[in-house]
Amino acid sequence: MTAQDVSDAAVVVRILESSGRPAGTGFLVGTRLVATCAHIVTAAIGGGPQSLRRPCAPIAVDFPSAAANHRMSARVCGWVPEYADGRGDIAVLHLDAAPPAAAVPPPMRADDGTTGPGFRMLGAADVGPGIASVSGHFWTSSLLMGWRAMDVEPGTLPISDRFSGAPVWDAAANMVVGMATVPDRRSTTRTAFVIPIQDVLLLVGSLPARAAETAEHGEPDLDAEPVVGVYGLRTFTVIGGKLRPVFDRSDNAAWRDGTCTAKCGKGTPHRPPADGCTCGVYCFRDLNHLRRQYSRQSASVVGVVALEGRVIEGDSGWRAQAARVVALWERTPGVVDVLPGVHRYRHVDDMVHTYPGLTVDSSPRPAAPRPTSPHSRTTGAQSTEDLRYVAALVGAILASPEAIVLLIIAGPIVGVTFFVVFVILCWLCGPR
């Protein structure tokens, strides 16, 4: 390790399994906030990285360079599950105590594609209790939604999944531009991907004020649900510059300050959203699905909301315990009053593409046909179909050779009559 690596290693955290073996890496992004990968958290304490049910068990961590042999505890306060396409996979942990004095969040900058070609990163060593350093070059990959990939320099030791969650420095600027995630989780490799640091900080910035305060001063509320890094799409009614629910009621204060907490008055008191009940704050995954459901309102204003508390996933989106507006598009800018912390976008598609898990035009599954009751009254269309069926059957009989012979024997008048009937039946059987 270089002198710079030794200095920077103070911010690096090891995420530990119950046995004390490192599952992966993390690093400080706030006074008591540690960023790592969601799959590293579940590797340490169990669970599935793609689950919306966030881990709530305490997680053992240590700062091997800043305070050797000093184990600490942390809990998940921010969670972006690993999506099916490989995106997401971000967790933010809240330390139960202040980190070592030498551990200070590193300087960071957005990975906008203008960083230098070289990188270096510091992660949990495969052998021994310390931190290992690797370096190499960036390259653009199409495998994970445009995330850049990193190739470790030839001649150096390969890396394992323990490097997932490691801070990645732009070697030239000496600033953290991302967090590593290693795609091969069963063996060593020389390739890893970079989760842009702006995606990590987007989750950190969406933490509620109470989490930020406890991160600076006190103990976290261990009974509170951790924040879920899941985003959804909603539209609103706007009255006097204030956001209101689509179907507004004069006594409803929801969304006026950009937030909404679900309350349910049905049945036995319970915390929304509950299984077996329709309560919760609803939002959509796909923009066009939202437009089809609320065409008039979504033509004027669309918002991205960050979901908090318990979240239940459905076919077209989610319903949550609470939600906050984090981004807004207006057809006429300035209609909605300024909301603190809410990003404004000129183009709604750009806004949707900024947030993981949201789509502009997916292909929602077609609605199942509505079953018809056998006791329901037959419609005019159904009557026509029945008539065509009878006409086709009679026409087929009249067109048979046996029927033609009988008509010839019966005489011209009967033959002409049956011919006219046959023509009418052919017309009824024709396409409409």
DSSP for 230-262 reads -EEEE--EEETTEEE-SS--TT--TTTTSEEE-
Give burial (CB, 10 Å; 0-12/13-18/19+) of 20: exposed
Give burial (CB, 10 Å; 0-12/13-18/19+) of 412: exposed
Q: Which two tokens stand for residue 396?
A: 């087929």
In tens digits, the chain (432 residues) has pLDDT values of 788 888 889 999 999 999 989 999 999 999 899 999 999 999 999 888 877 667 889 999 999 988 877 899 999 988 888 876 567 889 999 999 999 988 999 999 987 766 678 899 999 887 667 888 898 988 865 454 567 888 888 877 788 889 999 999 998 889 999 999 987 777 778 888 899 898 888 888 766 544 444 444 444 444 445 566 789 999 999 988 999 998 866 666 789 888 888 888 787 788 888 888 989 999 999 999 999 999 999 999 999 998 877 888 888 999 988 888 989 999 999 899 888 778 899 999 999 998 888 999 864 333 333 333 333 333 333 344 445 445 555 555 655 666 666 667 766 776 677 667 766 766 655 544
Phi-psi category of residue 402: left, alpha or beta, with phi > 0 → left and psi -120 to 50 → alpha: alpha
- CA pair distance 241, 339, nearest whole angstrom: 10
Q: Identify residue 240 by its one-letter amino acid code.
A: G
The residue among 93, 102, 99, 28 whose CA lies nearest residue 70 is: 99
Sign for the pseudo-dihedral over CA of 369, 373, 378, 379: negative
- CA pair distance 421, 417, nearest whole angstrom: 6
CA distance between the termini of the chain: 80
- Cis-peptide into 273, omega within 30 deg: yes
Cβ contacts of residue 368 below 8 Å, gap of 6+? none
Q: Identify residue 114 by its one-letter amino acid code.
A: T
Q: Identify residue 130 by its one-letter amino acid code.
A: G
Question: Which of helix, strand or coil describes residue 29?
Answer: coil
The residue among 225, 181, 235, 203 whose CA lies nearest residue 355 is: 203
- CA pair distance 171, 137, nearest whole angstrom: 9
The residue among 167, 238, 115, 204 whose CA lies nearest residue 4 is: 167
Contact between residue 96 and residue 219 where contact means Cβ atoms under 8 Å apart? yes
Is this model's pTM higher than 0.85 or not? no
**Backbone phi and psi for residue 378, each to the nearest 5 degrees, phi listed first:** -70, 135
**H/E run at residue 427:** helix 412-429
Cβ contacts of residue 246 below 8 Å, gap of 6+? 235, 236, 237, 294, 297
Q: Identify residue 310 by its one-letter amino acid code.
A: R
